[in-house]
Structure 1
Amino acid sequence: MLKQRPIILTNCRVIPKKTKSNLISTLRSSTDHGQSTGSNSSVVEDTEGDVGQIGKHISKGSVTINRDEYLHSHRELTHDYQQLKMKNNLLHRRFADYYKKRKLEHVLKPLENSADLEEKYQQKLFTYAELKDKEEKEIHDIKSKIQAVENQFKHNLENAEQKCDELIQLERSTGAGLIYSKTGKPMGDKTIERFLTLQRHKAEQAAQLCLRYIRVRNAVAELEGVIRKLETLGPGLHVAHFEQMYIDKQNYMNKIEEREDELIKNRTKCTEHNQILAHIREKMHHTDEVIDFTEGDLGDADLEFLKARERLGHAKGERDKLRWSLESERMKAGLLTRRDLLRDFQDATDEVVNLKERKSQLMNQITKIRHKLRESRRQYQFQPIADEELDNLS
């Protein structure tokens, strides 16, 4: 829904105001025309009032109004009003289409919280009026101060000019009685005036140079302030810091480039390692298949192992039985089952036999020796005591 806006009338025809003389002439012409035709006119006749009425002696003339002219102007204004109304509606539609194309439908919607907005607007107007009054007061104060400074400047300038004129008069009166040291003649008025004009020109040049120096000094101060402002980018931030940070940035950029080169190398290594890992994965898949087959074989081997373990248990039982029977047989057999003891017994018996043989040999030798001794005794006829001693010795 479009919000109804006030209709603005443009290019309206306005009837100009007529002067008093033109109005009187038109009224007279209209009265003459009304008396002759007697149509489209209204006549106001003089009527006498009561005796006590104010202005009873003042006569009233007849006034006629031309209705055709006003009707014609009314029709023209009505036609213009209708045309402008149609134009206004057409422009509203164009505005609506334009806002819809620009996606600005919120402009066509009625404002929400218009009372609050109006109140805020009034408050802003009040604040604007206060600021305006404050500004006017400040401007008035500044103008008054400027006027006071100008008056002070004029007063000081007049005093300075007066002092300067007095100084010039004093110099002129002093120079009138001076005498040249070279010529010994008194100084003329023209010479004094020439020196005074030269002094005045020098003073003017000095004043101009002082003014120029002050302007240049102020300009230098302003430029220094501008340079300081340019050097200070913010609170606690200067151009030197910015340059240092820029240098640090360049260094960090170089380091980043080096790191990027290292990253590129690492990426190439990663691609190579990924290829190696892919190859290893393929091998792993193959080994997984082999492991699956071997696990099947391992299951079969486990079954065979369990069967072999059972057979081993039975074999161990039989072995234990045989061991126990062998132990009993060994206990029954005695030394026959122990070879080391049998070997020792055989060695002992062999040694006993050898010792017996040696004993027999020694006995034979002893008998032989006895026989020889007896024979020797017989030969040498020893006493029988010696034989007994020999027997004892043997």
Structure 2
Amino acid sequence: MDKHVPDQEQRYLKYLSTLEATRKQYLLDAASHQQQIEQLRSQCQEVVSRVDKEWASFQEHKRAIALYGPNRVGKQVSPALIQEVEQLQAKEDRKQKEVIQVRLENIKLKNKINQFESILRSKEELSEGLHLIDFEQLKIENQTYNEKIEERNEELLKLRKKITNTVQVLTHVKEKLQFIQAENQEQRDRLMQVDALVAQKRDILTKTKQARDSLRIDNLKLKQQCGLLGNKTLLRDFEDKVDATEELQKKLENLKRRHAELTLASKGMVKKIEVAKSSILD
């Protein structure tokens, strides 16, 4: 091993120098490729802008032919025709964009196919030159992958059990939710009935208050019209005054009669005096 140490160091240093040269070449190639990409992008943008201009000019030319072509000489261009032509051109633009996208997708798929074919060819070439050590390494990796697959299968089984339990829980929750929703519906129905009853009672109460107010107003009017009916003292005094008035009326009648009698008596006396005077004079 001691004899091989300097040789290994030389090989290591050689590989390091080769790696450094490869890295520098990679950076140079990357810069060159980036510059080429920028140039190609600029050229592509120019081509795209030129194509867009040509397409817009072509669309305008077609629009002019459709609206003012030889077949339409002397005819008036209607707004409906203009709208129809614009709709057709818009539809054609959409279809053209779809064709462009499909072509780009086709190019990308072709490039992927070429990449896969190159990878497949490289793998086929690599498989021809595989050694026994590589085969054993692949067997070990395959065994590792099989163990990982078994672990994943166990995890999947656990997940399936969890999913089953979750589904059961969800089913129970759904049933409970349906039961609660049914109860809520019943409560809503009861609440609607109570609201209807409250509204009815409120209407009755409003009408009762209105009737009470009407009766109160009528009572006040009747009290105003009754006068002394509600006051016992004034009624008693009024009765006394009526009785006194009646007594005074009776006295007045008696005095009137007495006055009439006295008047008649005085008139008889006057006549007697006059008769006496006339007899004396005679």
Q: What TM-score do the two structures reach when normalised by structure 2?
A: 0.35
Where relative contact order (Cα < 8 A, 6+ residues apart) is larger, the structure is 1
Q: Which has the greater radius of gyration? A: 1
> Would you tell me which structure has more helix in proportion to its own residues?
2
